[in-house]
Every structure is written in structure tokens, then in C-alpha cells.
Amino acid sequence: MQGDLVLDCKGLSCPMPILKLAMAMKKLENGKVIEMYGTDPGSRDDVPAWCERTGHTLVEMLEVEDGFTFFIRCEK
């Protein structure tokens, strides 16, 4: 899978990945997907919880060697 927008949050600690995700999502059209990279272990729980709170869809979460890759669909 490939996102319509790539958001690199590697090296950032909470709450920065979620803040950057929220700002990027505001600029995205409905139905488009953000491909977000992160290394903060808290992102594993934070991103799905944020998606649930905001109504966006977590399409997929992958644990990769250097952290996580999330695919999040914009649902406006």
C-alpha cells in the first residue's frame, strides 16, 4: 500500500507525532490516505486511539525494524 501523503515522524516523541498527524489530516481530501512513519513506542496505542476519537480510519499498522508505519484514511 502507498499513501497519498507521506508523514515522517521518526525521532519525535509524544505528543508531536499526533500533532503533526492532526495538522496533515486537515489538509487532506476525504478518502485520501496518509502514510505515517514513527519511532515513538507510544504511537502503537496513540495513533489507533486518535483515529477512533476523530473518526478517521486506521487502514493498516505495520511494525517495522525501525518503528511503525501507519496508513490512515481521511474521513471528513
Query: For residue 76, is pLDDT > 90?
Result: no
Overall residue count recorded for the chain in this entry: 76
pLDDT in tens, 13-72: 999 999 999 999 999 999 999 999 999 999 999 999 999 999 999 999 999 999 999 999
Please report, for the domain that includes residue 61, its CATH number. Answer: 3.30.110.40
14 among known catalytic residues? yes
- If one counts the domains in the chain, the total is 1
Could you please report the per-residue DSSP string of 10-56?
TT--TTHHHHHHHHHHHHSPTT-EEEEEE--TTHHHHHHHHHHHHT-
pLDDT confidence tier of residue 1, bands split at 50, 70 and 90: confident
Determine which one of 9, 14, 51, 74 is catalytic: 14
Domain that holds residue 39: 5-73
Cα(72)–Cα(59) distance, rounded to whole angstroms?
6
Considering the entire predicted model, what is its pTM? 0.94
What residues have CB less than 8 Å from 58, skipping those under 6 apart?
Answer: 47, 48, 51, 70, 71, 72
pLDDT of residue 39: 97
pLDDT of residue 71: 98
